[in-house]
Amino acid sequence: MGKAYANKRSVENRPIGDLYHTPKSLVWELLKKEKLIEPVWECACGEGAITDVLSDNSISYKASDISSGINFLEIPNDFKWNGTIFTNPPFTYWDEFVVKAKHLTTKNIIMLGRVTYFGTQSRYNHNIWEGLKKVYMFTRYVDYQTPKRNDGLFHVGSLCTGWFLFDMDYTGEPTIGWINVEEYAKLGNYDNKKCRECKESVLKYINHNNFMECPNCGVLYDPLNKEYIDRDS
């Protein structure tokens, strides 16, 4: 399972380990709707976008990631976690993360995922949806290439995603809710913003988390205010 639904971006164009940051706003808004069963385990924590918010809300958690030596998929199934497993996993291994988390937790799982996953026959056949209690869909398509930012804003992209909540004691049908993220979708599209100076170079995030930069001439662009930054001012 998993590989068949792999991320369609070519491997060379994806960050190492598929490190994409969850916009903090997606976690802020989830916490307004759901009280998490503690302790929480962020098992693919990356640079801590989710755990930053847990910490700010005094929620007890443990964090691990393959980049710091803990491969979640290799944890023995007899290890038990009496709390919530909460992550935005690499989408390439989404099914494997759900299956492993179901082995390990006795309580709840919260995974960020693509809503299109529902339309896959083999997921249905393999009972991936067993225990799924609720899905909170985000009201805007999030581009997860957005760098880690403290204001929760994100670029809009082409993926319809949401939080998938599994409860190990739940046997009913899942329900759908929405998380309104309109106020955070302020950075425009991520891809293909051409440099005003070079015309052909595409702006990227290089050294500035909140500003895009031209890899060719170094011009800076602020996607929030949709303006170029004059370095001399």
Ligand X SMILES: C[S@@+](CC[C@H](N)C(=O)[O-])C[C@H]1O[C@@H](n2cnc3c(N)ncnc32)[C@H](O)[C@@H]1O
Residue from 6, 9, 17, 55 that binds ligand X (CB under 6 A)?
17
Compute the least distance from the CB of residue 18 to ligand X, in Å. 5
206, 198 contact by CB (below 8 A) = no
Identify which of 124, 37, 47, 129 has the alpha carbon closest to the alpha carbon of residue 86.
37
Q: Closer CB to ligand X, residue 88 or residue 105?
A: 88
Instruction: Tell me which amino acid residue 176 is.
Output: I
Strands 61-63 and 40-42: parallel
Q: Which tokens in the block code for residue 184?
A: 């955070």
Phi, psi of 41 (to 5 degrees): -115, 115
Q: Residue 122, interface with ligand X (CB under 6 A)?
A: no
Residue from 20, 138, 211, 221 that binds ligand X (CB under 6 A)?
20
Residue from 30, 36, 50, 53 that binds ligand X (CB under 6 A)?
50
Tell me which residues in 133-192 interact with ligand X (CB under 6 A): none
Q: Please identify the residue of the shown chain whose CB is closest to the bound ligand X.
A: 46
Residue from 2, 18, 30, 99 that binds ligand X (CB under 6 A)?
18
Q: For 199-209, b where at least 16 C-beta lie within 10 A, e where not — what string?
A: eebebebeeee
Residue from 46, 83, 113, 157 that binds ligand X (CB under 6 A)?
46
Compute the least distance from the CB of residue 224 to ligand X, in Å. 20
Q: Closer CB to ligand X, residue 107 or residue 149?
A: 149
Q: How far is CA 73 from CA 19, 20, 65, 77, 117, in A?
A: 16, 19, 11, 9, 20
Tell me which residues in 51-90 interact with ligand X (CB under 6 A): 65-67, 71-73, 87-90
Q: Closer CB to ligand X, residue 73 or residue 137?
A: 73
How far is it, in rounded angstroms, from Cα 181 to Cα 96?
28
Residue from 1, 7, 14, 19 that binds ligand X (CB under 6 A)?
19
Q: Closer CB to ligand X, residue 100 or residue 107?
A: 100
How far is it, in rounded angstroms, from Cα 94 to Cα 164?
11
Stretch that binds ligand X, among 32-40, 43-51, 176-184, 188-196 (CB under 6 A): 43-51
Compute the least distance from the CB of residue 49 to ligand X, in Å. 3
CA torsion, points 213, 215, 216, 218, in degrees to nearest 10?
30
2, 114 contact by CB (below 8 A) = no
Interacting residues with ligand X (CB under 6 A): 17-22, 43-46, 49-50, 65-67, 71-73, 87-90
